[in-house]
A and B are shown apart, each in its own frame.
Chain A
Amino acid sequence: MEVTINNIRKEFDRFPALNDVSLKIASGELIALLGPSGSGKTTLLRLIAGLDFPTSGKIFFGDQDASHHSVQERNVGFVFQHYALFRHMTVAENIGFGLKVRPAASRPPKTEIRRRVSELLDMVQLSGLEKRYPNQLSGGQRQRVALARAMAIEPRILLLDEPFGALDAKVRKELRRWLREFHDRTGHTTVFVTHDQEEALELADRVVVMSQGKIEQVGSADDVYDRPGSPFVFSFIGESSQLPVEVRDGTMLFQGQPIGIAEAGDGAGELFFRPEDVTLVDAPDALFGKVTACRRLAGTRIAEIDIANDGHAPYHVEVEVPLHAPIELGSETRFRPTRWKVFRK
C-alpha cells in the first residue's frame, strides 16, 4: 500500500508538533522516521494510524483519502513502544483479538481464527507459547507477540513505534535482523520510528530525518550519512566537528588564515567534517590545535583537539588518527579535512 502525506500540520495546544510535512511512502518500502525526542516522528506515525487527526493536511492510502476513516476502519498494524499487550489474555487470545472483534459478517469462524493464530505464531517463532500470559514472556517475545497481533488483521501498512526501544542491546540486534528478514518475506509497507541512528541506517530502505516538527532529509543510509543535506543532519548522524569559516577567492579561511582547502562560492559559512575524513599534515596552511585527550575507539584512535579562539573558549574538534601515530598530549597537531561540507549562513 502506497501512502502519501500531503502538507500535514499538527498542533497540540497551539504548539506545532508537525509543520507542513509531506512524504511519499512507496508500496513495500521499509522506512525509518529518525530524529531526537520532540522531533514529531511519533506524532507523524500516530497520524498515519488515525490515532490522532491532523490540524490540516491530508493522508492518502493509495488514492483513497484516509481523513474520513477512523482508526478502526484504516486497517493498520500498529506496534506500540511498550507493546500494549492485553495482559489478561493469553498470547493466542492477544493475536486473535483483531479477528474476534470483527463484525459477524466478516468474522472468520473459530477454527479459521485458530489456524491463523498458529500460523502467525509460527511466523514469529513463538509456537508452543500460545497459552502463556504476556507477563510470562521476555521482552523480545512480547515484542514479537505484538507484531503477530498487528499482522493478524492483514494490515495495509505496518507501523512500529520505537520497536526495539525497550529491549536490551543484544536482543535488540537480533530482533533488528529478524525484522528485516520478516519484512523481506512479507513485503509489507512498513514505517518505524526510532531515535537510534544505527538502527535506522542498518534497517531501513530510506531514512526520514526529522527535527522540530519538520523533515530535514529523506534518503538512503548512504545519502544521509555521506551527503547530509543540512547542518542538523550532519551533526545528528554520525560524529562531526564544525568550525566557522569564510571562503574568499576560492580558498577557505579560518580565523582569517588559509587552511589549504579549495571551495567555490565566496562568503561566510559553517565547515562540517567527520573525524575519519581528516588527514594529519605538516604544512603551514592547515588547521592546528593542541591535543587535549586521546581515546581508543574500537579499531581506531580519536584525538580531541582544542583550537585557540582569541581569548574565547577554544573550538573543540575530534579527528581520527592512525593507531600508531605518535600523538602526545599537549602537542600541537596540524590537520586538514579531506571531505567536508560548508553550509552557508
Chain B
Amino acid sequence: MSEDTRTALGKPPAFRNPADERPLAKILLIGLALVFLAFFLLLPLVSVFVEAFRKGWSEYYEALIEPDAAAAIRLTLLVAAISVPLNLVFGLCASWAIAKFEFKGKSFLITLIDLPFSISPVISGLVYVLLFGSNSLLGPILKSQGITILFAVPGIVLATVFVTFPFVARELIPLMEDQGTGDEEAALSLGASGWQTFLYVTLPNIKWGLLYGVLLCNARAMGEFGAVSVVSGHIRGLTNTMPLHVEILYNEYNFVAAFAVASLLALLALVTLALKTLLELRFGAGAAGGRH
C-alpha cells in the first residue's frame, strides 16, 4: 500500500496522452470555437425570434394571418409539394442507373447532376427568364397558347426544381454505390421481378438516406430566395413565396412582420436540423457531405 502511494506521489503532476493538447490549450480552442459560433450562428438565429416577438404575441399572430402572408405560406407549401416529389423521382432513377450499373460517361453525368450547386441562384432564375421571357424564342409561342410560365407559379416551381435538383440524388448515389448490387442480384435470382426487387430489397436499404435527402431538399425548396426572386415578379398574394414576402416586408420597414414570417422559416430550419441529427445518430445516414 505504502509503495503504491509513493509511486503516485513521485509521478509527474498529471499524465498527458502524447496525442493530446495541454488542458489550457484545449480550453482556449474550445472557447475560440464557441465565441465564433455564437457570433456567426447562434446570435443570428436568436435574433430572428427576438425581433419577431418585439411587439408581443398579438402583433406576431397578426403578421402571420394577414392575407398576403397566408397566401405566401400556401404558395411555399405548394411549390415544395410539387418540386420535392419531382426531384425525389429523379433522385431514385439517377442513383439506380448510376449506382447499379457500369456505363460510359458516368462520372460526367455525376458532374452534371452537381451543376446546380455551383451555379449562383440568381443565374438559376435567369436561365428561365431567358428561355421563357417575352423576347425569347419560346416566350411568344407560349403566350399565343395562353400559357404563362414567368412571373407565375410554373416559373417559381421550375426555378425551385433547378436549385434543389441534386439533393436527393447526391445523398443516394454514394449510399447505393456502397451497398453494391449483391442484394438485388440475390432477389432476382430468387425470382423477384424488377419492381419487387426495388420495392422489397432496394428501398428498405436506402429509406433513411432517402428521407435525409428529401429533408434537405424540402428545406431548400421552401427557403429558396435568389432563383425564385428572379422569376416571380413579386406579385403580392399571387407569386410571393415566404422568403420573398420576408424581403418585401423588410424593405417596407415592417420589421416585426418580416421577422414573424422569417421565424416560421427559421423554425422549419430547426426542425430540419433536429430530424437530420436524429437520423445521423440513429442510422448514420450519409454523413452530411460538404456540398449542400
Contacts and interface: CB of A to CB of B under 8 A. Distances in A.
Interface centre among B7, B8, B18 (most CB of A within 10 A): B7
Contacts of A70: 12, 18
A71 interface: yes
A67 B11 contact: yes
A56 B18 contact: no
Interface in B1-39: 3-4, 7-8, 10-12, 15, 17-18
A65 B7 CA distance: 11
A58 B15 contact: no
Contacts, number: 26
Contact of A72 (B3, B8, B10, B18): B18
Nearest to A57: B7
Contacts of A52: 17
B21 to A, nearest CB: 14
Interface residues of B, number: 10
Nearest to A67: B11
Contacts of A58: 7
A51 B10 CA distance: 18
Contact of B7 (A50, A51, A67, A71): A67
Given A51-B18, A70-B18, A56 B8 contact: yes
Interface in A124-145: none
Interface in B28-52: none
B12 A68 contact: yes
Given A70-B18, A71-B18, A72-B18, A53 B11 contact: yes
Contacts of A72: 18
A74 to B, nearest CB: 10
Contacts of B15: 53
Query: Main secondary structure on chain A at its contact with chain B?
Result: mixed
A79 B235 CA distance: 71
Interface in A35-60: 50-54, 56-58
A159 to B, nearest CB: 14
A67 B6 CA distance: 12
A97 B67 CA distance: 70
A67 B10 contact: yes
A311 B18 CA distance: 58
B161 to A, nearest CB: 42
Nearest to A58: B7
A19 interface: no
Contacts of B3: 7, 56
Contacts of A71: 18
A2 to B, nearest CB: 21
B232 to A, nearest CB: 49
B12 A56 contact: no
Interface string B189-215: 000000000000000000000000000
A28 to B, nearest CB: 27
A70 B15 CA distance: 9
A81 B261 CA distance: 58
A58 B4 CA distance: 10
A58 B12 CA distance: 13
Interface of B: 3-4, 7-8, 10-12, 15, 17-18
- Nearest 3 A-B pairs (CB), nearest first? A53-B15, A71-B18, A56-B4
17 contacts: A52-B17, A53-B11, A53-B15, A54-B7, A56-B4, A56-B7, A56-B8, A57-B7, A67-B7, A67-B10, A67-B11, A67-B12, A68-B10, A68-B12, A70-B18, A71-B18, A72-B18
Given A53-B11, A56-B4, 16 more contacts: A7-B3, A51-B18, A52-B17, A53-B15, A54-B7, A56-B7, A56-B8, A57-B7, A67-B7, A67-B10, A67-B11, A68-B11, A70-B12, A70-B18, A71-B18, A72-B18
